[in-house]
Chains A and B, each alone.
Chain A
Amino acid sequence: MTGEPLLAVRDLKVSFRTEDGLVKAVDGVSFTLSPGETLGIVGESGSGKSVTMMSVMRLIVDPNARFEGEVFYKGRDLMKLSREDMREVRGSELAMIFQDPMTSLNPVYRVGWQIAEQIRAHERISRRAAHARAIELLTAVGIPHPAERVDDYPHQFSGGMRQRVMIAMALSCSPDLLIADEPTTALDVTIQAQILNLIKKLKEDFGSAVVLITHDMGVVADIADRVAVMYAGRMVEQGSKQDLFYDPQHPYTWGLLGSIARLDRPKPRRLTAIPGLPPSLLRLPEGCAFGDRCPQRFDACAQVPELTAKAGSDHLDACHLAPGDKRERRERTIHPELTEEPA
Chain B
Amino acid sequence: MLTFIVRRGLWTVLVMFAITVLVFVIFFKTPGIDPVRQIAGRNPSPLVLAEIRHQFGLDRPFPVQYALMMKKLFITRDLVSYSNQGTLVIPEIFAAAPATLSLVFGAAIIWVVVAIAMGVGAAVLRGTVLDPLLMILALIGISMPVFWLGQVANLITQSRFHDTFLFSWVPPLGYTSLTQNPVRWFEGLVIPWIVLSVLYIGLYARVLRANLIEVQNEDFIRTARAKGLTERRVLLRHTLRNSMITFVSLFGLDFGVLVGGGALLTEVVFGIHGVGFLTYQSLTNLDLPVIMATVVYGAFFIVLANTLVDITYAWLDPRVRLA
Contact = CB atoms under 8 A, between A and B. Distances in A.
B223 A107 contact: no
Contact of A106 (B127, B223, B228): B223
Contact of A107 (B229, B230, B317): B317
| Residue with the greatest number of chain B CB neighbours at <10 A, chosen from A106, A107, A170 | A106
B191 interface: no
A121 B229 contact: yes
A95 B222 CA distance: 12
B226 A91 contact: yes
A117 B318 contact: no
Interface stretch (A82-90, A236-244, A263-271, A306-314): A82-90
Given A108-B241, A153-B319, A96 B220 contact: no
A105 B225 contact: no
A100 interface: yes
B267 to A, nearest CB: 38
B238 interface: yes
A244 B226 CA distance: 31
A90 B227 contact: yes
A98 B222 contact: yes
A104 B223 contact: yes
Interface residues on A, range: 20 to 34
B56 to A, nearest CB: 54
Interface string B223-239: 11111111101000110
A153 B315 CA distance: 12
A92 B228 contact: yes
A91 B234 CA distance: 14
B223 A121 contact: no
Contacts of A63: 127
| Residue with the greatest number of chain A CB neighbours at <10 A, chosen from B219, B226, B319 | B226
B224 A90 contact: no
A90 B225 contact: yes
Contacts of B230: 87, 121
B222 A59 contact: yes
Interface residues on B, range: 20 to 34
A195 to B, nearest CB: 17
A122 interface: yes
Contacts of B318: 107-108, 153, 155
B199 to A, nearest CB: 29
Nearest to A84: B230
Interface in A41-81: 57, 59, 61, 63
B219 to A, nearest CB: 4
A108 B242 contact: yes
A90 B226 contact: yes
A181 to B, nearest CB: 10
Contacts of A153: 318-319
B231 A83 contact: yes
Nearest to B224: A106
A96 B242 contact: no
A127 to B, nearest CB: 15
Sort A-B residue pairs by CB-CB distance and give the 9 closest, nearest first: A91-B228, A90-B228, A103-B219, A118-B227, A91-B227, A153-B318, A106-B220, A96-B226, A104-B219
Interface of A: 57, 59, 61, 63, 83, 87-92, 95-96, 98, 100, 103-108, 117-118, 121-122, 153, 155, 166, 169-170
Given A59-B222, A83-B231, 13 more contacts: A57-B226, A59-B226, A90-B225, A103-B220, A107-B220, A107-B319, A108-B241, A117-B229, A118-B227, A121-B228, A121-B233, A122-B228, A170-B226
